[in-house]
Structure 1
Amino acid sequence: MRTNWLVGMAAAVLVLFVGRLVWIQGFEASALAAEAYKQITFTREVQASRGDITDVNGVVMATSVKRYNLTVNQRELAKWTHKNEADIEVGGPAEAARLTSDLLDMNEAELAAIYTGDRMFKYVKKGLLPEVWDAISSLRIAGLYSEETSQRVYPAGTVGGNIVGFVGSTGEGKAGIESAFNEQLTGTPGSRTYERSGTGHVIPAGKQTTVAAQPGDNITLTIDRDIQYVAAHALAQQIKKYGASGGSATVVDIPTGSVLALAESGSVDPNKPGATDESNRGAKSVSDVFEPGSTAKVITVAALLETGLATPKSKYTVPDRYTTSNNQTFKDSHDHEKEKWTLTGILSNSSNTGTLMAAEDLPTQVRYDYLRKFGFGEKTGIELAGESRGILHDVDDWDGRTKHAVLFGQGVSVTALQAVDVFATIGNGGKRVSPHLVQSITSADGTVTTKDAGEQTQVISKEVADQLLRMLESTVIDGTGKPGAIPGYRVAAKTGTAQAADASGQMNDIVSSFIGVVPAEKPRLAISVVINNPSERISIYGGPVAGPVFAEVGSYALQRLGVEPSTESPKLYKEEW
């Protein structure tokens, strides 16, 4: 009995053992193999190539170039040897440092210390040029490896830097188009899986698996780099001449709303954003606001013409001081005798008192409505972060003085882009087109998505828009805008001198502006020039301060775009009676 019991127990143990063996071989084999494979493999992410940003003509404004990160397997390098120039067997970290220190532009002793240790992976230096890695690779030093990566570069530097923006240390967009379209530009990373030995290095004949990265989309801007450059250069020269603190110059293609230039003083160089003051790393043309001053008189005149309260030939006897029906007194920028001006003359001579007289019967609500129609108090929708809507208080919040001051551009604030958009609307036959900076997006498979400019909104009638253009020509020919004249082309423009908030929020800064369209008879371009805090010892008025920049930028842009010179003389309205 005892023998039978022992035999039975042995048989049971044998059955269990065989069963377990069958289970391992049959059912757990694949799981164990997978776990073993995990232990001898490693996976690295393959960075997707970030999309390019180009100007409207395909000139590269931002691109990514190939770079390499040098890494070391310290265990493997410790065993490496080779014969030196004297045919002596040498090796290890010290010899590797001797051979590579000059290539890496690093101290030999410090480099040897980085190479020394027991780690299987460590970064030595990042961002190597391809030729540097090729030179190191040719030395065949066991234990030195590379990671392929990329570096973002901006060939145009500060030209358009405020628009293009820049990326951070991780490659993520931090400002401008780089930030606004980060998702499209980034693409989708891939991966590469290798088999490695016990020492940690890649087995050449081992299994490798690659999942290709998907490149990011390319973005084509509406910006013309050359027009942007000329605008920035002309602006910088005038700022220096007048001892001003800064400024902007904007050029818009009227029929399409395409922004051809958005130049600003102190623009960031995306290659080294840290070298630029934080206040200059964005696009101030869409974020900073100022009172438009006299350039906003075109909205008041548009309202008068559209409602039938006046015509370009309406007559007024204009004093240099004027008291409104609610006992608010205003004055012109300079003393003068009573002038017999038409509405055209009032606009041409930029008279505050004349504007108030002409608009005395314009209802307060209508004044507000026309400011809103022309885009005051709302964002343009430009493709940049940080856009301000400006300041347009609700009509119920206007006090007894504000409801008159808004007629000549005080008590409201706009961005430089909002200001030029008013004139683009007038030049487009009274139709408002949303300004935009992106022309198209091209995906990795070549699909091109063109930016839709959106619906055009009729703000004023074409008849009134045409009347305004004729009136504004007088400003350049006979009025305050003479410095903005462009030889060979008819210009319709308005000057302005107004206030802006200083660093403390007080309205102590001065803004001189010149905004207009050209050619007046068939408008193609709307251009605004805004200069901050010109020296009062020289001049603060928009004509002499900002006008010359308008003329230089306009002249270059018209020729670059092949716009034919004006062939007919303007038919001006009378300014006096």
Structure 2
Amino acid sequence: MLRLGSPRRRINIGLIGMTFVLSIFAGRLIQMQGLDSKVYEAAAADQRQHTETIPAKRGSITDVNGHDLAVTVEARELSIDPSKISADVRGKVATILARQLGKSEQDMAAKLARTDTRYQRLATDVDPVVATRLLQAGVPALSAKKTYRRLYPAGDLAGSLIGFVGDEGSGLAGMEQARNTVLAGRDGKQRVETGRDGQRIPMTSSQRTAPMDGQDIRLTIDRDIQWAAQKSIREQVQKSGADSGSVIVMDVQTAQIVAMANAPELDLNNWRKSPQSSQINKAAADVFEPGSTNKVITAAAALEARAVTPDTVFHVPDRIRCADQVLKDAHAHAAESMTFRQAMAQSSNVATIMAARKVGSARLYQMLKAFGFGTAPGGGVPGAEAGLLPDYRKWSGSQSCTVAYGQGVSVTALQMASVYQTIANGGVKVEPQIVAGTTDSSGRFVPAPAGKHTRVVSQTTAKEIATMLESAVGEEGTGHLAAIPGYRVAGKTGTANRYDAELGRYDGYTASFAGFSPADKPRLVVLSVLQNPKNGHFGGQLAAPVFKDVMTFAIKSKKIPPTGSVAAPVRTRAGQ
């Protein structure tokens, strides 16, 4: 017979085995709940806790009168969990999202098809009304996060000066980039506990660091004058067939920039579709040879050195040899006697060279430096370039003559406007200003510090140059198209050969006009410049009318009355 083993033995063996297994479980529980409890508690907390960014509101950019040029409004960022969208409703959901968000249905369907992920961002900068509509439509697994979007109410007004903000909320050009730290503020943070579905667990602890909103920046730009400047230069660029153009309006006493216009200008609401060239603030960054507008610096050097006076008479042919070059006046003429005043009014290159020779290259170079050539202007204008001022010891034989009338040196429109601000301000150069002030954390307006003041020439020299420039806008001057009825105007035309970096040679012209009004009590400086015009090329023909249009609008807008005085009789011709 088959004998069965003792049941007691089997039971004992089973009990021993169970005791061993249970002891392992017990030991593990002791380790987890006792020895390692803090570790697992921290790990669980990390799984539940999430840090959310609380975006700071970006500060506004306004004109000098508080009109909005760049503002921030509330928006929503929409995201979805594709794993919770069943296949049978995926097409319907994609259609709803595409219609409400202005996206393609294919794009939405592709995001919903990513069922291997639990997060897909659908859109940023969504209007809160649209986001609420979608949430109420019952789209499954849809979530909305508060954010902000940047708007530019004025479109292309001062577009390249203001710049724009990228998708990540940082400034990418212009003032938006240059003052990004001030405008952006500081994001806050919030640490919350959420469940597996991503929803916040009620009654759980949270840690919150409040955001610090960005400060508002008030520019010195006047919206109305900026509009007039852009309109005038845009129309002249189109009419003349120029590649581009710029206008600067500057306050004489403070050097605050009242307008800084370019054509073509950047439309800030469509900056992604614009060519990169339109994103550059040409008025501050484009470098060119100024031509005859630079003659005021030669005149300043000659008058300061007492080498000439406005009434000094020169016997002026229409050409002069300088080293291996023969340099000419713009128009052929018989040799004639000219006062220095007349030479400036008629923009004689030859007479200017004669005056420069009395000064010498070293003194002329120092005067160019004193007026700001070769140095980037301060004042916070984004993208401002320094131009090019070679050391006089490196000037070629002909360059020692051409620099006198603005060829062989390079400047920006901003630098040239500063030259005329210095003359109009009695010889005192003020650092150009583009920011009027900012708001502090309490919302109080804090004015920007005034620009640095530097005396460049004596008040007497500045006044003598002003009278010479007023003659240049007279009937016999090259700038007569800049004259404004009822107002005294001082200014100078400029026509320069234009160096084309792509071609590696001179090609085309730069036409410009710079001046101020009222001539006897200056309030505003206006400079206009056109690059590579095809229909005409003289500054008096193309740039002077822009000056007249913009200055006329500006003095009316600022309610600047005529002084009521008339220019004192001066000797313009030799023998008078």
TM-score scaled to structure 1, two decimals? 0.88
CA distance in 1, matches of 2:202, 2:84: 15
CA distance in 2, matches of 1:95, 1:303: 78
* 1:529 and 2:528 aligned: yes
Contact 1:289–1:500 (8 Å) recurs in 2: no
**AA aligned opposite 1:532:** Q
Contact 1:63–1:152 (8 Å) recurs in 2: yes
**In 2 relative to 1, CA 95–531 (structure 1 residues): closer, same or farther, beyond 3 Å?**
closer
* 1:72 and 2:69 aligned: no
Shift in Å at residue 97 of structure 1? Answer: 5.0
Counterpart of 1:500 (choices 498, 501, 515) is 498
CA distance in 2, matches of 1:107, 1:504: 44
Shift in Å at residue 206 of structure 1? Answer: 4.5
CA distance in 2, matches of 1:346, 1:198: 85
CA distance in 2, matches of 1:92, 1:327: 84
Counterpart of 1:564 (choices 555, 561, 566) is 561
Contact 2:161–2:382 (8 Å) recurs in 1: no
**In 2 relative to 1, CA 169–329 (structure 1 residues): closer, same or farther, beyond 3 Å?**
same
Counterpart of 1:291 (choices 289, 292, 300) is 289
Comparing 364-373 and 264-273, the one that deviates more: 264-273
CA distance in 1, matches of 2:403, 2:106: 71
CA distance in 2, matches of 1:97, 1:544: 60
Cross-structure match for 2:320:
322
Cross-structure match for 1:47:
55
CA distance in 1, matches of 2:105, 2:382: 46
Shift in Å at residue 363 of structure 1? Answer: 2.0
Cross-structure match for 1:258:
256
Q: CA RMSD in A?
A: 2.7
**In 2 relative to 1, CA 65–505 (structure 1 residues): closer, same or farther, beyond 3 Å?**
farther
- 1:507 counterpart SS class: strand
CA distance in 2, matches of 1:23, 1:265: 72
Cross-structure match for 1:301:
299
* 1:374 and 2:371 aligned: yes
Cross-structure match for 2:125:
127
Shift in Å at residue 98 of structure 1? Answer: 6.4
Counterpart of 1:555 (choices 552, 557, 560) is 552
The correspondence of residues 340-355 of structure 1 with structure 2, limited to 5 A, is: 340-355=337-352
The correspondence of residues 429-440 of structure 1 with structure 2, limited to 5 A, is: 429-440=426-437
Comparing 143-152 and 247-256, the one that deviates more: 143-152
Shift in Å at residue 73 of structure 1? Answer: 2.7
Shift in Å at residue 34 of structure 1? Answer: 3.6
Contact 1:470–1:572 (8 Å) recurs in 2: no
**AA aligned opposite 1:426:** I
Cross-structure match for 2:417:
420
* 1:575 and 2:572 aligned: yes
**In 2 relative to 1, CA 38–393 (structure 1 residues): closer, same or farther, beyond 3 Å?**
same
The correspondence of residues 133-144 of structure 1 with structure 2, limited to 5 A, is: 133-144=131-142
Contact 1:165–1:178 (8 Å) recurs in 2: yes
**AA aligned opposite 2:234:** A
**AA aligned opposite 1:507:** Y
Structure 1, unmatched stretches of 5+, are 1-9, 80-90
CA distance in 2, matches of 1:131, 1:439: 36
**In 2 relative to 1, CA 389–101 (structure 1 residues): closer, same or farther, beyond 3 Å?**
closer
Cross-structure match for 1:273:
271
**AA aligned opposite 1:531:** L
Shift in Å at residue 410 of structure 1? Answer: 1.4
Shift in Å at residue 340 of structure 1? Answer: 2.7
CA distance in 1, matches of 2:362, 2:566: 38
Contact 2:100–2:134 (8 Å) recurs in 1: yes
Shift in Å at residue 466 of structure 1? Answer: 0.8
Shift in Å at residue 227 of structure 1? Answer: 1.1
**AA aligned opposite 1:45:** T
CA distance in 2, matches of 1:432, 1:115: 63
**AA aligned opposite 1:153:** L
* 1:405 and 2:441 aligned: no
CA deviation string 1:92-144 (max 9, x = no partner):
65665566554334566875664463543222333321111111222345521
**In 2 relative to 1, CA 490–390 (structure 1 residues): closer, same or farther, beyond 3 Å?**
same
**AA aligned opposite 1:240:** Q
The correspondence of residues 127-276 of structure 1 with structure 2, limited to 5 A, is: 127-204=125-202, 206-276=204-274
* 1:509 and 2:508 aligned: yes
CA deviation string 1:449-473 (max 9, x = no partner):
4222332111000111111111111
Contact 2:489–2:515 (8 Å) recurs in 1: yes
Cross-structure match for 2:472:
475
* 1:540 and 2:541 aligned: no
Shift in Å at residue 359 of structure 1? Answer: 3.3
Query: How many correspondences in the alignment?
Result: 549
**In 2 relative to 1, CA 207–341 (structure 1 residues): closer, same or farther, beyond 3 Å?**
same
Cross-structure match for 2:334:
337
**AA aligned opposite 1:174:** L
Contact 1:154–1:271 (8 Å) recurs in 2: yes
Shift in Å at residue 299 of structure 1? Answer: 1.0
Shift in Å at residue 542 of structure 1? Answer: 0.8
CA distance in 2, matches of 1:142, 1:207: 28
Shift in Å at residue 209 of structure 1? Answer: 3.8
Contact 1:491–1:520 (8 Å) recurs in 2: yes
**AA aligned opposite 1:508:** D
**AA aligned opposite 2:499:** A
Shift in Å at residue 500 of structure 1? Answer: 2.0
Contact 1:257–1:453 (8 Å) recurs in 2: no
**AA aligned opposite 2:326:** T
CA distance in 2, matches of 1:531, 1:521: 28
Contact 2:247–2:259 (8 Å) recurs in 1: yes
The correspondence of residues 451-462 of structure 1 with structure 2, limited to 5 A, is: 451-462=448-459
Shift in Å at residue 225 of structure 1? Answer: 1.8
Contact 1:342–1:575 (8 Å) recurs in 2: yes
CA deviation string 1:495-552 (max 9, x = no partner):
01002221323221300111011111111111111011222xx421111211111001
**In 2 relative to 1, CA 108–453 (structure 1 residues): closer, same or farther, beyond 3 Å?**
closer
Counterpart of 1:311 (choices 309, 315, 331) is 309
**AA aligned opposite 1:56:** V
CA distance in 2, matches of 1:32, 1:73: 28
**AA aligned opposite 1:39:** Q
CA distance in 1, matches of 2:342, 2:95: 81
Shift in Å at residue 352 of structure 1? Answer: 1.1
Comparing 106-115 and 260-269, the one that deviates more: 106-115
Cross-structure match for 1:84:
none
Shift in Å at residue 394 of structure 1? Answer: 0.6
CA distance in 2, matches of 1:380, 1:107: 47
**In 2 relative to 1, CA 460–92 (structure 1 residues): closer, same or farther, beyond 3 Å?**
same
Structure 2, unmatched stretches of 5+, are 1-18
Contact 2:316–2:350 (8 Å) recurs in 1: yes
* 1:33 and 2:32 aligned: no
CA distance in 2, matches of 1:165, 1:530: 22
Contact 2:356–2:364 (8 Å) recurs in 1: no
Shift in Å at residue 271 of structure 1? Answer: 2.2
Shift in Å at residue 566 of structure 1? Answer: 2.4
